Chain A
Amino acid sequence: MNFTPRHRREPMELQLTAMIDIFTMIVIFLVMGTVIGVADVSMPPKTNLPKSLSAEALDAAPQVLISSRKESSSPSVELRALSTKFPKSEKISIEEFRSDKVAQSVPITELKSKISNHINALTPEQRKGGILLNVIADEESTYQDIYDVVAVFRGAGFESLLFVATGDPKINALIQKGQGSL
């Protein structure tokens, strides 16, 4: 006969310490990696951003949206701002931005003066990182459209233009496949 005392079965306990450790690490990782607000990119409908090799993160800056040709026969341009302080424009036809029309165009003159007034009112602290502008356009927009719009905004006082694209690792893979210098 076996008289050895039977081991009491202890109730199973969840190891909470290890779980909390992992959770804390996940929270720290996510807090560090999160870019709140910057990724607020508003895109015109039916717009496909161009693909890029660049891995730079997006900066918080006003956005100029150049609507695609697919959407309508006459593309338009719209300035959208992240803050309410920045002037917001109505949609302006891209034809107004053409070099032969731009000098006489009333909407462009109004837009330029709004932007200039706003930029002049900025404090040196606000100008520290430069006066940036995000350019958002469809991959099939022509260089003529892009250049004409960008030239006007550059002339209005924006110092650096940031061309927004979608990072695509496939480009790098394709280049690596060939015998390029990259």
Chain B
Amino acid sequence: MDNLFQKSKRRHIRELNVVPILDMMTTLIIFLLQITSFMEFTKITIPPSSTSVITDPVRPPPLSPKIFLMANEKASSLKVQLMWAGESSGANVEIVKFDKDSSKIENAAAVLKAVDKLVNEFRKEFPGEQNFQLGASSSIPYQHVVSAMDGIQAAFGPKTEKAVREVANIVLVSYQDVNAEYLRSGEVVE
């Protein structure tokens, strides 16, 4: 009987010990912040070049547009030329002049803009063309080549969240071909 009237023990509500969880979370955040790169480096992809066989006689032959960056060593301007083959072959030229006071970034933006303009004009006439050959004179700095690649990609529109996006295929052309074309054209930029 004694047991029947004994006071039942109060059940204590167990509390979650959150302090170690917070400790762990803080450590994790510090670790992740340390190793996160936040997209410091970017890249431009050059896909593999390939040979195509024309099986459809109705389809016109490839235009194989070529973008050449041409200048002499230490020249203060750059000749950007876009030329294409085919039935209505042609060429467009832009001259990019670099000011003495302009920064490297400004020069890069100028090259990018010139290439973007040429490719945009070309794509208005030939919207289906996606393969571009890119070359430069032997002394042209790498930065200009990267800016030209950016200019070609930019002409295909800004990068969106769309799954399918047109991307230009860029194939590098030998500097010997570009030097030969520069000499052949006879237009020397200073």
Contact = CB atoms under 8 A, between A and B. Distances in A.
Interface string A27-69: 1001101111011010000000111111111110000000000
Contacts of A31: 32
B162 interface: no
A38 to B, nearest CB: 8
Contacts of A181: 116-117, 120, 155
Which 8 A/B pairs are nearest by Cβ-Cβ distance? A39-B37, A144-B138, A30-B32, A174-B109, A143-B136, A139-B143, A50-B146, A167-B42
Task: Give the interface residue-count category, chain B.
Answer: 35 or more
Contacts of B18: 16, 20
B149 interface: yes
Given A143-B175, A160-B47, A181-B116, A167 B105 contact: no
A165 B44 contact: yes
Interface in A125-142: 130, 134, 137-142
Interface string A143-182: 1111100110000000111111111101100110010111
A122 interface: no
Nearest to A17: B18
A154 to B, nearest CB: 8
Contacts of B44: 52, 54, 56, 162-163, 165
Interface in B147-162: 147, 149-150, 153-155, 158-159
A19 B143 CA distance: 47
B26 interface: yes
B45 A178 contact: no
Task: Give the interface residue-count category, chain A.
Answer: 35 or more
B156 to A, nearest CB: 11
B183 to A, nearest CB: 16
Nearest to A170: B105
Contacts of B43: 54, 56-59, 134, 162-165
B132 to A, nearest CB: 15
